[in-house]
Structure 1
Amino acid sequence: MRTDIYNWKPVSVSEICAIFSEIPITWCIAGGWALDLHLGKQSREHADIDVIVLREEQSTLLTSLINGGWQLYKAENGKLDLWEEGEFLTSIKDVWVSRDSGAPWAFQIMLIDTNQESWVYHREKRIRRSLKEIMIRTEKGIPYLKPEIQLLYKGGSSAIREKDHHDFLTVFPSLTPQAKEWLKTALVKQFRDGHTWVDYMELNGKGMHT
C-alpha cells in the first residue's frame, strides 16, 4: 500500500496520447484537462491528469500498461493498493499509475460503467447517455470527455471544491444551449432538493431551453 497521495508529477496531454494510442481500447482525457481541451486553452494549473476507460476493457488496459513498465494502484476509501494482473475490478473506479513504487504519480484512470452501449453515471444510475455521445475530439484528434458530463462529475460530488466551481464558471458560457440544458436536467435529477449550479443556470442560462 502507498500513502504518498500528494506525490504527483503528472505527464502531459501529449504523453497520455502517446501511451494510450498504442492500447486497443476506448479512452479519453477527463478532469480539468478535458475542460481546457474544450476551451482550447489552459485556464488554470492542474495537479494531475485523468483518463477515462470503459470498465469492461480494463483487462486490456492493465496488461498493456504493465507490459509498458507501469505500476497501477487501486484507489478506494483513501487507500492505494497494488492492482495485479488477473484481478478484475467490479466496483473500484479510480486507479493511480506510476513508474514504480517510489516514483511520483503520473496519471489517474477513471473506470466508467456502461449498459447496452450507454454510459451510466454511477451517482445516479438513471442518468445515461450513448457511449457515442460522451466523447469528442479536438482538431488534433485528442479525445476528451464532453464538458457538460465532466461538469456533472464535478458538481455531483458530495463536496464541490473551489477549483470545481471555478471550472463551472469558466466553462459554462462556452456550452451549447443543449449542453447547458442536459447538465441542468442531470443535476436536478441527482439533487431533488436543489443545487447552487442549477440556481446559477436558471439566472444565467440565456439560450437554454425551458
Structure 2
Amino acid sequence: MPRQIGGGQGAGRVTIPDQQAWQPWAPEELAQRLQQVSRPWCVVGGWALDLWLGRPTRAHSDLEFTLLRDDYHRFRQALAELDFYTVRDGELTFLPVGQTPGENIFQVWGFDAVAHAWRVDLMLESGTTDTWVYKRDPSIVYPRTAMVALSDSGIPYLRPAAILLFKAKYTRPKDQTDFSQALPDLSREERRWLMQHLVRLHPEHEWIQRLQTTDE
C-alpha cells in the first residue's frame, strides 16, 4: 500500500488520511456525480465484472475508474467534494486543486474529508475519445466502442476480457475468484480475445489452459 507523504488542503492539515480508510462509493453513486461529464470514462476492476454480470459477486475494497489524462480537470471539478492524492511508487501525495498530475502519475485517490473515507481510485489513461490503449503494452489498441459497454442502468464499464487481462499480471486470490466467476459467462469471442493476449503477454499463465478447455 502507498506510504504517506505530503500535506493536506487547508491550514494545519499536514497528515495524509489513513490509507486503509476506504468506504468506496458504489458505481451508481459515482455515475450520478459524473452525469454532467460528457467525456469518456468507465468502471474497471472487480466492480466492472459485477456490472457486466448484473449481480454482486464479492465485496469490493475500492472503486476504480478510468478517464483520459487530458480530461482530469473536468472530472476533478465534477468530484469537487473530494480531496485528491496522487499514488506513485508506494507514495501518497496531496494534489492541490488546479494542479495537474505529472506525466509519471497514473493513479489518483479521492478522499471524502467529511466522511473521513476514500471514495474513488482514478486511473489516468492514454488513448483518445475513439481509441482504447492497454497501458501495460501501448501497442494493444482497439476502438473504445469495442472495449467499453454499458450496464443495464447505463454505467460504462471495461469489458470483462480486458479486466481479466489486467488481473492476470498478479493473480491475487481475488483475481483468481474473479476469473472463476467470470469464465462461465464469457462469450467465445471474449475467451479468444483474452487467450490471444495472455499468450502474447503471459505465455505461461495458468488461465490459458482453462480458457482452451472451456473453448473446446
Q: Does 1:104 align with 2:114?
A: no
For structure 2, the residue ranges without an aligned partner over 5 or more in a row are 6-15
Tell me what 1:64 maps to.
78
Tell me what 1:160 maps to.
171
Q: Identity over the aligned pairs, expressed in percent? A: 28
Q: Residue deviations 1:144-190, cap 9 Å, x none?
A: 111111111111x2x22100011001101111111111111111111
Distance 1:94 1:21, change over 3 A: same
Q: Residue deviations 1:30-64, cap 9 Å, x none?
A: 11111011111101111111111112211222233
Tell me what 2:214 maps to.
204
Point out 4+ residue stretches in structure 1 off by more than 6 angstroms. none
How far apart, CA to CA, are the structure 2 residues paired with 1:87 and 1:112? Answer: 14
Tell me what 2:183 maps to.
172
Please give the root-mean-square deviation of Cα atoms over the aligned residues, in Å. Answer: 1.9
Q: Does 1:36 align with 2:50?
A: yes
Say whether the 8 Å CA contact 2:68–2:128 is kept in structure 1.
no
Cα offset for 1:204?
2.2
For structure 1, the residue ranges without an aligned partner over 5 or more in a row are none
Q: Normalising to structure 1: TM-score of the pair?
A: 0.88
Say whether the 8 Å CA contact 1:3–1:79 is kept in structure 2.
no
Letter in 1 for 2:84: L
Moved more, 162-171 or 8-17: 8-17
Q: Does 1:94 align with 2:107?
A: yes
**SS of residue paired to 1:28:** strand
Q: Count the aligned residue pairs.
A: 201
How far apart, CA to CA, are the structure 1 residues paired with 2:138 and 2:128? Answer: 10
Cα offset for 1:12?
1.7
